[in-house]
Amino acid sequence: MRNLIKFKEELSDKLKQKAIFEGFAVSGIASIPGGSRLKLRNQALERWLANNYHSEMKWMEAERRKNIESLLNGAKSVLTVGFNYLSHEHKEKAKFKIGKFGQGEDYHKVITKKLKKIGKWINTEVPNCKWKICVDTSPLLEKAWAEEAGLGWIGKNSNLINKEFGSWLTLGFLILSEDLTPDNSSQSLCGICEKCIEKCPTNAITEPFVIDSEKCIAYHTIENRNQTFPEHVEKNLNGWIAGCDICQDVCPWNKTVPLNKNIEAYPKSWVKNLNIEALSWDEKKWKKNLQGTTLKRIKPWMWKRNIKAMLKNT
């Protein structure tokens, strides 16, 4: 029994170290089904959906999102990782602002590739271990599980915040059939700070931890498929044409974050040089530029809509 516990602890440590070796900034482990706080997070999700704060993001209603075990038969643990997407080349622009998370390589592919290596590695240690990769397209309460695994806490702007890397992290998960040693869950360190709430120009953070998508610039520039924006969003774009980082930029935990020197995090050259000429790009040029980025979710016609709306109010 003692040897089994020791093996479990050593395997857990080696797994987290492997994640760091593969290029993740942080890693942690949570046991399934998790602690009591996950039940509260599920209840918070239900209230958010009941208020229709998810707007047209109907995939958020998936019942499976509340049950991680539905994603992998026999799931016992989940490795949670955070990829730091902040590089020294991320610079604020007066016009044509793009959310930092989308400026470099498509994080879905970056994270999946790294997690596949980790999955293959664990099978050299435990051949019968089953695993499944999840990178935000799966019905999973990502931030709640990251919090459970000790990666950070869910801040008042609804982003996961890590002590060292702030909220400049995209998350990945490797659900495992192996019973591993869990890390301690994180506790909130936001305190009385409400800068994210105060600085949101559209008042999208209706109360701490709650985002109304219909008021959110990021939602409208990425997910809104209508031809126009609501007036309260359009007049507050202030340069944002794809996403919005305001509630992260003002967060004190994001002021001194280590930079990722890997080219995966570097902004694409066209992103850095984007200007009004983009309005004349044809479909072919847009698709070529968007290839290999998460920004391809924003269709070419939407880019033009976003740019026109932004210019109209500058």
Write down the pTM of the prediction: 0.93
Q: Judge whether 286 lies within some domain.
A: yes
Q: Judge whether 166 lies within some domain.
A: yes
Same domain, 112 and 76: yes
Record the tokens describing residue 117, joined without a space.
């290596």
Local confidence band at 46 (pLDDT 50, 70, 90 cut-offs)? confident
Whether the CA torsion 268, 269, 270, 271 is positive or negative: it is positive
**DSSP E strand stretches across the chain:** 26-31, 77-84, 97-98, 131-134, 153-154, 160-161, 169-176, 205-207, 210-211, 240-242
Local confidence band at 252 (pLDDT 50, 70, 90 cut-offs)? very high
Same domain, 69 and 155: yes
Same domain, 76 and 125: yes
Rounded Cα gap, residues 152 and 83, in angstroms: 13
Same domain, 300 and 218: yes
pLDDT at 66: 64
Local confidence band at 93 (pLDDT 50, 70, 90 cut-offs)? low
pLDDT at 277: 96
Record the tokens describing residue 26, joined without a space.
């942080």
pLDDT at 65: 66
Around 75, how many Cα atoms within 13 Å sit in the side-chain half-sphere? 22
What is the full DSSP assignment across 22-88? TT-SEEEEEESS--HHHHHHHHHHHHHHHTTTTTT-GGGG-GGGG-GGGGSTT--EEEEEEEE---T
Mean pLDDT (the chain, rounded): 93
pLDDT tens, position by position, 148-171 = 999 999 999 999 999 999 999 999
Determine which one of 13, 106, 136, 282 is catalytic.
136
pLDDT at 216: 97
Looking up tokens 């470099």, which residue turns up?
Answer: 104
Q: Judge whether 53 lies within some domain.
A: yes
Of 90 and 30, more confident = 30
pLDDT exceeds cutoff 80 at 312? yes
Local confidence band at 2 (pLDDT 50, 70, 90 cut-offs)? low
Same domain, 223 and 164: no
Record the tokens describing residue 301, joined without a space.
């016609």
Q: Judge whether 223 lies within some domain.
A: yes
Rounded Cα gap, residues 17 and 24, in angstroms: 10
Dihedral angle of Cα 41, 45, 48, 49, to the nearest 10 degrees:
-170
pLDDT tens, position by position, 271-286 = 999 999 999 999 999 9
Local confidence band at 94 (pLDDT 50, 70, 90 cut-offs)? low
Q: Known catalytic residue: 136?
A: yes
What is the total count of domains within the chain?
2
pLDDT at 177: 97
pLDDT tens, position by position, 127-153 = 999 999 999 877 789 999 999 999 999
Q: Judge whether 50 lies within some domain.
A: yes
pLDDT at 136: 87
Domain, as residue range, for 206: 195-312
